[in-house]
Amino acid sequence: MTNDAGYELIASERMPIKAWTRGVPIEDQALAQLRNVASMPFIHSHVAVMPDVHWGMGATVGSVIPTVGAIIPAAVGVDIGCGMMAVRTNVRAEHLPDSLTHVRSAIEAAVPHGRSDNGGRNDVGSWQKEPPEHAKAKWAELEDGYKAVIDRHPKAAHQRGLGQLGTLGTGNHFIELCLDEVGAVWVMLHSGSRGVGNKFGTYFIERAKHEMRRWFINLPDEDLAYFAEGSEGFIDYVKAVSWAQRYARANREAMMELVLDALRAEWPDLTGDELAVNCHHNYVAKEKHFGKDVFVTRKGAVRAGVGELGIIPGSMGAKSFIVRGKGNAQSFCTCSHGAGRAMSRNEAKRRFTVEDHVKATEGVECRKDAGVIDETPMAYKDIDAVIAAQADLIEVVHTLRQIVCVKG
């Protein structure tokens, strides 16, 4: 059902579902998850759906879930505080060398990325020796909060909180160099709270499930297990998730410093200007909407209040966008967090070849091997269609074209 407000209404038995998905397909699994979420008794007003929506754990990626009196940990997810950061530099297109291979190599050398191999004995995704001083300084500001969480929940502890601060991670996490419409070079990166946030998220999701079993609460999906406001689990989860969101932001800041330092080997006078954006897209925050204080969970979605800057990245071979929010109340002042997957990782590996990937990433200095087929551009939705579907949520400030991409 469509209307003139920019969104479509998806049929639901309880609370409305408002979806900014015109011209963008939604998979049946995602529709079922949206209806499950909308059926929960503590949803406030409606569920908002972004054009990059796709299936996730419990709740879809690309949705906004406002709740009163409860929080669903799996709706926040296990990469708590995952998000984007972008900085415009004073380097321009005419300053670029003919080949950017050594620039990509310099970034890869500066920022640990990837996952453990050799059975975990070679943890390439963490600092092998001493982390850089600025990462240590950021950890010093975070350490007391971390200890406060694990003192109460020792099983949520992770051994590499400091060891992963300023590191990229795996999967769809990336570091890119991009050119905007006037030839300015941007550094853009995507990462979150790494292993420590994952451990927090996984631990509290299981605790919430335990609470549901304890009180014989039946759910349409066990991953919609929740903590009721005021309960011990709720109080402890809010403290943990708030800490992980601060860690994720600090992680992006630390990585950005490392990348800019690495680039100064090529451009000694490189500086970042005042236009820098650092935004979460997997998080929960207390906000006021439709006259009520609510907990807003954005799962793969970015806050887009009036005048707020955000980042909507495309895939490895597509455009990305710096956007400014319009403060659309019906979307809970939110926009999409990216293009959104069009298919699963396994389906992408089955369907596409290395040759397909090489063609799709022509002109981008990036990995072009079988190990990144699951991240090939064709595995994602059309970013232009995604941007068009949310014209009443954001305006485009800058259009970026990738020239270097480092994948986790």
Helix (H) or strand (E) holding 288: strand 282-289
Distance between CA atoms of residues 157 and 147, nearest Å: 9
Whether residue 337 lies in the annotated active site: yes
267's CB contacts (< 8 A; 6+ apart) are: 89, 91, 95
**The two three-digit tokens of residue 292, written as one number:** 């009520």
387's CB contacts (< 8 A; 6+ apart) are: 312, 321, 394, 396
Q: Maximum Cα–Cα distance for the chain, whole Å? A: 65
The Cβ-side half-sphere exposure at 40, using a 13 Å CA radius, reads 33
DSSP string over 99-156 = --HHHHHHHHHHS--S-EEGGGTEETTS-SSPPPHHHHHHHHHHHHHHHHHHHH-GGG
Catalytic residue among 113, 337, 357, 398: 337
Helix (H) or strand (E) holding 51: strand 47-54
- Residue 11 is given by DSSP the state P
Q: What length is written for the chain?
A: 408
- Residue 172's nearest CA partner among 185, 190, 160, 155 is 190
Question: CB of 80 within 8 A of CB of 241?
Answer: yes
Strand partners, 309: 324
DSSP string over 342-405 = SS-HHHHHHH--HHHHHHHTTT-BS--SGGGGGGSGGGB--HHHHHHTTTTTEEEEEEEEEEEE
Torsion angles phi and psi, residue 256, rounded to 5: -60, -40
**In which region does residue 307 sit, left (phi positive, over 0), alpha (psi from -120 to 50) or beta (all else)?**
left
Distance between CA atoms of residues 209 and 254, nearest Å: 34
**The two three-digit tokens of residue 240, written as one number:** 């943990």
**Residues forming the active site:** 337
